[in-house]
């Protein structure tokens, strides 16, 4: 296992799984510019490493992420400069590999947006989700409204966005924001277990499935089905697909290489 610690964002790798931990617990893992740059470096490294197939994102202490460090926001000379800053939600969305959010506590504002940028979300009972920006006079800016509406429906999304009030993990699961709520102490174990399962699948197919899911949000049904069929054709031509067919015929586990 390898580990790096630039910018209070830790990256650990083991096998085919990368784990990114936001590690500023005294500030509820609120993100600074330095942390955003570190996250960008980690994402670029993961994308460039063919051995890394799945990512787990979590936080240290009692928070997943409380969004941006509010104390840093006044440093921008103009609203335009603020709007042109490097956005951590955008950065996370550039990950081509599947991402599992292990939401261990507060997921607030930009932290909620980070969770929404992940493909699968797990939580523990003490996790709290909120879009509190409206209480401070603004709204989220990293896809919060669109992603929430897709995840939990327009009425539930409106309730969160217009009140800024939090929901607990049980409500988040009932609304479809998270897939599962794990007992205390089991969250990371389940996230790593799920990551290991996905890592055993064909990497090209897994990345293609992620791409296809995101495209399905943006396309009419007929175009989405056509797009899926083209992606299926690409996958079918890979060495991994041939290996999968051979393993099925020979009644053995496939050994996928990402080719």
What CATH number has the domain bearing residue 213? 1.10.12
Q: What is the pTM of this model?
A: 0.92
Range of the domain at 100: 2-199
Over its length of 259 residues, how does the chain's per-residue pLDDT go in tens digits? 555 555 699 999 999 999 999 999 999 999 998 999 999 999 999 999 999 999 999 999 999 999 988 777 778 778 787 776 778 899 999 999 999 999 999 999 999 999 999 999 999 999 999 999 999 998 888 889 999 999 999 999 999 999 999 999 999 999 999 999 999 899 999 999 999 999 999 999 999 999 999 888 889 999 999 999 999 999 989 999 898 899 899 999 998 998 8
In a shared domain, residues 11 and 90? yes
Q: Three-state secondary structure along the chain? A: CEEECHHHEEEEEECCEEEEEECCHHHCCCECHHHHHHHHHHHHHHHHCCCCCEEEEEECCCEEECCECHHHHCCCCCHHHHHCCCCHHHHHHCCCCCEEEEECCEEECHHHHHHHHCCEEEECCCCEEECHHHHHCCCCCCCHHHHHHHHHCHHHHHHHHHHCCCEEHHHHHHHCCCCEECCCCCHHHHHHHHHHHHHCCCHHHHHHHHHHHHHHHHCCHHHHHHHHHHHHHHHHCCHHHHHHHHHHHHCCCCCCCCC
In a shared domain, residues 246 and 140? no
- 114 assigned to some structural domain: yes
- 227 assigned to some structural domain: yes
Q: Could you list the active site residues?
A: 113, 133
- 182 assigned to some structural domain: yes
- 28 assigned to some structural domain: yes
In a shared domain, residues 181 and 239? no
In a shared domain, residues 91 and 32? yes
- 154 assigned to some structural domain: yes
In a shared domain, residues 6 and 121? yes
């Amino acid at each position: 296992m390898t580990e790096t610690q630039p910018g209070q964002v830790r990256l650990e790798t083991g096998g085919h799984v990368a784990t990114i931990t936001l590690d500023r617990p005294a500030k509820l893992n609120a993100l600074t510019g330095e942390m955003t740059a570190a996250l960008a470096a980690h994402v670029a490294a993961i994308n460039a490493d063919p051995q890394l197939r799945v990512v787990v994102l979590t936080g240290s202490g009692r928070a997943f992420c409380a969004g941006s460090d509010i104390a840093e926001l006044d440093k921008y000379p103009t609203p335009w400069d603020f709007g042109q800053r490097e956005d951590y939600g955008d950065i996370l969305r550039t990950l081509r590999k599947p991402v599992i959010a292990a939401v261990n506590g507060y997921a607030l504002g930009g932290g909620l947006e980070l969770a929404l940028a992940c493909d699968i979300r797990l939580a523990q009972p003490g996790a709290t989700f909120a879009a509190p920006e409206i209480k401070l006079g603004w709204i989220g800016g990293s896809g919060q409204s669109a992603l929430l509406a897709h995840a939990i429906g327009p009425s539930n999304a409106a309730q969160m966005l217009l009140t800024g009030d939090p929901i607990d993990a049980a409500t988040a699961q009932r609304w479809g924001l998270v897939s599962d709520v794990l007992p205390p102490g089991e969250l990371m174990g389940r996230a790593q277990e799920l990551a290991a399962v996905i890592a055993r699948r064909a990497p090209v197919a897994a990345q293609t499935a992620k791409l296809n899911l995101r495209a399905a949000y943006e396309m009419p049904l007929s175009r989405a089905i056509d797009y899926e069929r083209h992606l299926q054709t690409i996958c079918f031509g890979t060495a991994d697909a041939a290996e999968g067919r051979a393993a099925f015929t020979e009644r053995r586990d496939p050994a996928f290489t990402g080719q």
